[in-house]
C-alpha cells in the first residue's frame, strides 16, 4: 500500500540550480511538490521528475505579476528560490523584478492563507566585518544598477530581503524564515541526471557553479 505523501510544497525556480535540488530533496523526503518553471524548461522539468507521482510542474511566466490563486490551492508551504540572473535582462528590469517578485508571491501567499514561506537570501547582503541583524552591505540601488553583474546581484538580494522584512512587519503575516548561503557549490546528484537528453539540455541552461568541484 503506497505511503500517503506529506503536505504540498510550492517551489519557485524549480528548474534552477538551487530549486532543482530543493525539489529533489523534498520528493525524497516524501513531500508532494508543485514546482514552477517557464518556457521550454517546463516539459523538461516534468520529464526529470516523471517517476514521482506526487510531483507537478506548473508554468509561471513572471513571478512578479502571476495570478497564484489556482496554483496555491492545497499548498501548505512555499520555498522561493526564483531570482533573475544578471545578464538575462537589462539591469533596471532585473533589479525591480527581483524585489517585486518576492513581495508579490509573499502577499499572494498571505491572501491564500499559507503560513510557511522560506525566502532564499545570500551572505552577500551582509558587510565583510562583524555585523548584526540590522547591518547591510553598503550598496545603493544606483550602484547596483549601474555596476557590474555581481554588484547587481548584491543589490537584488539586499533590497529584496529588506522589502520582504519590511512587508512582514506591517501585519500578522506568514512566517518567513530566510536562508543565507555563502555559496552554492558542487555537482548535482545522480538522481538529477537520469538518461534524458532533455534533462541534459535543462542542466546546460543553468550557469550557476557548473564548473565547480571537478
**Strand ranges across the sheet with 6-12:** 55-59, 31-37, 6-12, 75-80, 116-120, 178-179
pLDDT digits (tens, 9 = 90+) for 138-157: 889 999 999 888 899 889 88
Is pLDDT at 199 greater than 80 in this prediction?
no
d(CA 92, CA 142): 9
Third-level CATH fold of 6-204: Rossmann fold (3.40.50)
Is pLDDT at 190 greater than 70 in this prediction?
no
Angle between helices 149-168 and 91-111 (to 10 degrees): 20
pLDDT digits (tens, 9 = 90+) for 26-57: 999 999 999 999 888 898 899 999 999 999 99
pLDDT digits (tens, 9 = 90+) for 75-123: 999 999 887 766 667 888 888 888 888 889 988 998 898 988 888 878 7
d(CA 52, CA 41): 18
The helices-and-strands tally (H runs, E runs) of the chain is 6, 6
Query: pTM for this one?
Result: 0.79
The domain ranges of the chain are: 6-204
What number of residues does the chain have?
214
Assign 182 a pLDDT band (cuts: 50, 70, 90): low
pLDDT score at 177: 58
Angle between helices 41-48 and 197-204 (to 10 degrees): 120
Amino acid at each position: 500500500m503506497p505511503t500517503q505523501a506529506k503536505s504540498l510544497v510550492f517551489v519557485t525556480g524549480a528548474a534552477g540550480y538551487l530549486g532543482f535540488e530543493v525539489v529533489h530533496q523534498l520528493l525524497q523526503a516524501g513531500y508532494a511538490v508543485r514546482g514552477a518553471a517557464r518556457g521550454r524548461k517546463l516539459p523538461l522539468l516534468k520529464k526529470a521528475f516523471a517517476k514521482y507521482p506526487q510531483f507537478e510542474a506548473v508554468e509561471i511566466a513572471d513571478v512578479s505579476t502571476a495570478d497564484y490563486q489556482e496554483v496555491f490551492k492545497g499548498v501548505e508551504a512555499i520555498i522561493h528560490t526564483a531570482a533573475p540572473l544578471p545578464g538575462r535582462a537589462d539591469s533596471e528590469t532585473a533589479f525591480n523584478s527581483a524585489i517585486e517578485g518576492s513581495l508579490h508571491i509573499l502577499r499572494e501567499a498571505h491572501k491564500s492563507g499559507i503560513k510557511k514561506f522560506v525566502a532564499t537570501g545570500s551572505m552577500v547582503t551582509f558587510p565583510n566585518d562583524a555585523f548584526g541583524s540590522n547591518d547591510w552591505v553598503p550598496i545603493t540601488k544606483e550602484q547596483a544598477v549601474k555596476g557590474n553583474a555581481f554588484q547587481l546581484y548584491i543589490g537584488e538580494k539586499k533590497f529584496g530581503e529588506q522589502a520582504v522584512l519590511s512587508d512582514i512587519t506591517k501585519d500578522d503575516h506568514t512566517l518567513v524564515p530566510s536562508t543565507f548561503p555563502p555559496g552554492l557549490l558542487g555537482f548535482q546528484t545522480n538522481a538529477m541526471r537520469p538518461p534524458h537528453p532533455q534533462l541534459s539540455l535543462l542542466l546546460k541552461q543553468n550557469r550557476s557553479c557548473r564548473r565547480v568541484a571537478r
